[in-house]
Structure 1
Amino acid sequence: MNIVKEIAVKVQEVVQETIQEIVREMITIDHLISQVIRKVVQNKVSKDVAVKS
């Protein structure tokens, strides 16, 4: 019974670490996507301004 409990605790730790890594990666990906969108919008705006002037 004790070994089963130890295994369960280890599995839980690994799962939590994995979830934290996934969340960190998602935040990084989200940040990159928002940077790309910002760049695209800036380029579009500067092109529109250049066309108007």
Structure 2
Amino acid sequence: MIYLLAAIGALTVAVVLWRAFGIERVGVPSARPTLAPDDDPDFLRKLGEQQRKGKDEDKE
């Protein structure tokens, strides 16, 4: 029984190490991290334009 548990444990460790340090699969695109709105340059540019536009309207 102890040998079965040892084999399962060794297999689990091998799979975890393979997933962590194994070579990447060819042909599978790597996941691109999603940008949060506060990291998105287009969003920040539009937000700045809206703020400037709002300040200009307040001055008039």
TM-score range, shorter chain: 0.3 to 0.5
* Between structures 1 and 2, the one with greater helix share: 1
Tell me which structure has the larger Cα radius of gyration: 2
RCO (CA 8 Å, sep 6+): is it higher in 1 or 2?
A: 2
